[in-house]
A and B are shown apart, each in its own frame.
Chain A
């Protein structure tokens, strides 16, 4: 379809979806063409960006100091410890609990739960972290984040983008995967001077996430088309030497087969 064939409603839908990061691969190309050709689309994009900047810069409201105690005082006394324990059991049994991360100052807590499975390799130990998303750390205002490096990979049936940004002392890692087949992305932080702080957001069906030994493994288990995005906070480790070259090694694989390797080289 020629871009001139899009009516105003379609233009709005495409530009809004782009602003929300909800474009499919097919729509992305259509959108880029639209933005290049349409003044209306560019104006709408600018308006949405301004609005997002205003709203995302607002500080969150502070709950009253009494709120936590008031909530705890009202919670029902559980008749048996088994009620709550049975809910937690699938995720806290010794074989399941794998890793717990605590951010500096105790302000952000990321808890990664692992399902115990009868796996033959560590690649099968996945964590479904989707229920923890957005509640562990507030979404970072991206409007004044500085881009440190990015990496793109595209082949038939797979498109991925990885970005590393910095805002003050906070580093934001964003991994996007749009794949027709299950795919794994491994990010090795051992030479980067960075470590995982907290998950901020995940989007997409059945993402899973593993972090051990400063290596992140993100697996898209869906065998259907769908975009997956994981956003995480990283923080600098004490050993970071700012003068040294640091890098994040990347590795893509699918069904055990290595597809591509690369690296992010952040420039401080």
Chain B
């Protein structure tokens, strides 16, 4: 069990963090995801890929958390984004600051996306999933994955450009 957790805890946390933009919530969701994984291990269908199943649990938990957030947040509040700078590393002190700044900006942009679009961006760019794998994880057809990814990319491209991150 320990080795299985070690194998998946970083990817699970990474996906959760990218979806939520908050390290504490991502840690909570990661714990819940593993609890649900092991509680339901008997139901695991071996024809289904294990990592897809774990990512599915994780993404569903993040979506639940986002819904819980909406219930308790004022409508005018800006999207959540961590102000913690120690979530990301850089090689030197200067790089750490620059990297952290860039990561916060990109994470902030991610939080502007609709959660369905954010999920495909996170799974594709940060979890290296293919269309087919994303389709399994999100339980939507591949055509829907493509459509969401294309729309999300358009939006990301515009936002990255507005922040001066995507230079020509």
| CB-based contact A136/B7 at 8 Å | yes
Bound CA span A63–B3, Å = 17
| CB-based contact A134/B127 at 8 Å | yes
| CB-based contact A55/B106 at 8 Å | yes
Bound CA span A72–B37, Å = 12
CB of A71, distance to nearest CB on chain B (Å): 5
| CB-based contact B165/A76 at 8 Å | no
Bound CA span A58–B107, Å = 10
Is residue A201 within 8 Å, beta carbon to beta carbon, of the partner chain? Answer: yes
CB of A168, distance to nearest CB on chain B (Å): 13
Is residue A135 within 8 Å, beta carbon to beta carbon, of the partner chain? Answer: yes
| CB-based contact A55/B27 at 8 Å | no
Q: Find chain B residues with CB under 8 A from A16 CB.
A: 146, 149-150, 153
CB of B96, distance to nearest CB on chain A (Å): 10
| CB-based contact A130/B49 at 8 Å | yes
Bound CA span A145–B90, Å = 20
A135-B14 CB under 8 A given contacts A60-B126, A84-B41, A203-B130: no
Q: Find chain A residues with CB under 8 A from B11 CB.
A: 134-135
| CB-based contact B146/A71 at 8 Å | no
| CB-based contact B27/A64 at 8 Å | yes
With an 8 Å Cβ cutoff, the count of chain B residues facing the other chain is: 61
Among A50, A90, A134, A139: residue with most chain B CB under 10 A: A134
Across the two chains, which residue of chain A brings its CB closest to B91?
A59
| CB-based contact B23/A12 at 8 Å | no
| CB-based contact B31/A87 at 8 Å | no
| CB-based contact B42/A87 at 8 Å | yes
Is residue A83 within 8 Å, beta carbon to beta carbon, of the partner chain? Answer: yes
Bound CA span A16–B152, Å = 12
16 extra A-B contacts, CB within 8 A, seeds A16-B150, A132-B50: A13-B146, A22-B131, A47-B166, A51-B166, A52-B125, A55-B106, A60-B126, A62-B89, A67-B27, A76-B35, A76-B39, A84-B38, A90-B46, A132-B51, A133-B49, A134-B127
Interface residues of B (CB under 8 A from A): 1-3, 5-11, 13-14, 17-18, 23, 26-27, 30-31, 34-35, 38-39, 41-42, 44, 46, 49-52, 54, 86-90, 99, 102-103, 106, 124-133, 146, 149-150, 153, 156-157, 160, 165-167
Identify the 8 closest CB pairs spanning chains A and B, nearest first. Answer: A131-B50, A139-B128, A63-B13, A131-B49, A55-B125, A61-B17, A61-B87, A203-B130
